[in-house]
Amino acid sequence: MVAAEAMLRTLAGALPEARLPAGVPHLGAIEARLAGGVPALEGEPLLTGAALLLNVELLAAALEGSAGPEVRAIARTLEGSLPTAAADELAAAAQSGSWDTIGALAERIGLESDAVITLVDHATRPILRAGARAVHEVVLKSPWQRGTCPACGAAPLLGEVRGGGASGGAEQERVLRCARCLTAWSFPRLRCTSCGETNHRQLAYIHGAGEESFRRAEVCSTCHGYLKSIAVLAPLDGYELLAADLATAALDVAALEHGFHRT
pLDDT tens-digit readout, 139-173: 999 989 999 999 999 999 999 999 754 444 446 79
Q: What is the pLDDT of residue 200?
A: 95
- Report the predicted TM-score, pTM, of the whole model to 2 decimal places: 0.93
Looking at the fold, whether 194 and 222 belong to one and the same domain comes out as yes
By the 10 Å C-beta count (0-12 exposed, 13-18 middle, 19+ buried), 21 is classed as middle
pLDDT per residue over 58-88, tens digit each?
A: 999 999 877 777 899 999 999 999 999 999 9
Residue 234 in domain: yes
CA distance 52 to 65: 21
Number of domains in the chain: 2
Q: Coil, helix or strand for 79?
A: helix
Looking at the fold, whether 174 and 52 belong to one and the same domain comes out as no
Q: What is the pLDDT of residue 1?
A: 67
Looking at the fold, whether 133 and 221 belong to one and the same domain comes out as no
Domain hosting residue 54, numbered range:
2-137
Residues 6+ apart with CB under 8 A from 74: 56, 60, 111, 112, 115, 116, 119
What is the percent of the chain where pLDDT is above 70? 96
Residue 245 in domain: yes
Question: Which residues share a beta bridge with 174?
Answer: 161
Looking at the fold, whether 242 and 124 belong to one and the same domain comes out as no
Q: What is the pLDDT of residue 65?
A: 77
